[in-house]
Structure 1
C-alpha cells in the first residue's frame, strides 16, 4: 500500500462512514505521491523543481501517473505539483482502495440533492492501530524509517481529523518539522498549500458574514 493510500485510510471516519475535508486531503495525497517518488529515487530536486530524469516505472499505477505528468511537462515548482489534480487524486486513491478490498464505497444524496460518498473501512481495527502508530511517531522522539517519517509528517501537516488536537500539533511543532524535513521538498509545499487553503476559507467565511 503506497503512502497516499495509507493517508486516505487515516483520513477516513469509520463511524460516520465518510472522508471529511476531501479538498484538503487531495493536497495531502499529492504530496504523499511526490514524497514517495523522492524516497524511491525517482524524483530529484533541481532548483526547487522536481526532475524525473530517466527514472524507471515504479509499477504502482498512481506513482507512475504522477511521474509521467512531471516527465511530460516543463519544469515547475513543487507547490504546483502538490496542487495539480488534487481533486481527482482523491477519487483515484479511493477507487484503488475499493478495488483492493480495503474499503467499499456507495453514493447517496444529502437532502436528495447533494452527492456524497459513504465509505466503509473493512478493517477499522487495523486503521485505529495505524492512527496510534502515527500519533506515537509525531508525539515521540527518535529516528524513524523514511517512509514512516513521511507518513507521520504528512498526516500531521495535513491536519487529518482525529489524529491530533490543535494543542498536540502545537506541542509537537518541532518534531513535525523534523519529520517533514525528511519528506523532501513536497513537505514544505504541502504546508504552504494547507496554509493558503485555510486563509482562503477564513476569508470566504469572513466575507460571507459581512
Structure 2
C-alpha cells in the first residue's frame, strides 16, 4: 500500500509506534500536524513569509486536499499572523480532519468503541516503518542532498518531539544537521518549537493554579 502524499497525513502515520501499534506524541500531535500543513503550503509557495508572519499567496490555487485548503483559506481570510499562532489554532479539529482523511483513503482502520477511546491502527505498518527508516536516514547524509519534503518531515518531527522518528538522544547528537534541515521549512520548524513550548508552559501554569 502506498502512503498518502500530504505531509500532515504522513506525520500522523509516523506518530504511530509500529511495535506497539499505538499512537504516540498525543499532547503535541495537533501542533505537529498544523506545522506540517503550513510547511507543505510554504514548500509549494501557497503561503509566504512576510516579516515573520504567514501570508497567503494571492495567486495560490487549491490543492484539492481539504486539510491544506482549509488552512490556506483561514490564512487568506485574516491579516498576516505569526507562524506559531497558526500552529496553535484548531489543534483538535486538525487531528480529527487528518484522521478522517486517512481513514477515507484506507490508510487507517478505526474501531469505534462505546466505553473506550476508538482503536486506531495503520493498515500497513510495514510501509509506515519503512518510511520512518527512510526519514531517519536523512540524519546521516548531507542536508544539501536531502529531498525538501523529507527534510521538512524530519525537522518537524524533531521540533515537535515525535520520538518515533527522532529520539531525544538523536535530537542532541544531530542538532546541527536538524538545524540545517529545518531551513527547508522556512520559519515553520522554529515556530513549531515555540508553539510546543508555549503549550507546555500554559499547561504547567494551569496545573499550578489548580493545585494552589
Q: How does the TM-score come out when normalised to structure 2?
A: 0.88
Distance across 2 between alignment mates of 1:66 and 1:50: 11
- Structure 2 match to 1:18: 22
Distance across 1 between alignment mates of 2:75 and 2:97: 18
Whether contact under 8 Å (1:24, 1:194) holds in the other structure is: yes
- Structure 2 match to 1:127: 128
- Structure 2 match to 1:59: 64
Whether contact under 8 Å (2:55, 2:81) holds in the other structure is: no
Deviation at 1:23, TM superposition (A): 3.3
State yes or no: 1:137 paired with 2:138.
yes
Q: 1:140 to 1:159 in 2, by over 3 A?
A: farther
Deviation at 1:200, TM superposition (A): 4.1
Matched ranges for 1:50-199 at <5 A? 50-52=54-56, 53-108=58-113, 112=115, 115-143=116-144, 144-199=146-201
Q: How does the TM-score come out when normalised to structure 1?
A: 0.89
Where structure 1 has 5 or more consecutive residues not aligned to the other structure, the ranges are none
Residue by residue over 1:41-95, the C-alpha shift from the partner in whole angstroms, topping out at 9 and shown as x without a partner, is 1111112111112311112211111110011112211111011111110110000
State yes or no: 1:44 paired with 2:51.
no
Deviation at 1:205, TM superposition (A): 6.4
Q: The residue matched to 2:112 in structure 1 has which SS?
A: strand
Distance across 2 between alignment mates of 1:206 and 1:175: 37
Whether contact under 8 Å (2:47, 2:55) holds in the other structure is: yes
Aligned residues between the structures:
206
Q: The residue matched to 1:152 in structure 2 has which SS?
A: helix
Q: 1:23 to 1:87 in 2, by over 3 A?
A: farther
Distance across 1 between alignment mates of 2:41 and 2:192: 15
* RMSD of Structure 2 on Structure 1 (CA): 2.1
Deviation at 1:209, TM superposition (A): 8.2
Q: 1:16 to 1:204 in 2, by over 3 A?
A: farther
Residue by residue over 1:88-127, the C-alpha shift from the partner in whole angstroms, topping out at 9 and shown as x without a partner, is 1011000000000011112336xx4xx5231111111111
Distance across 2 between alignment mates of 1:197 and 1:176: 22
Where structure 2 has 5 or more consecutive residues not aligned to the other structure, the ranges are none
Deviation at 1:201, TM superposition (A): 4.5
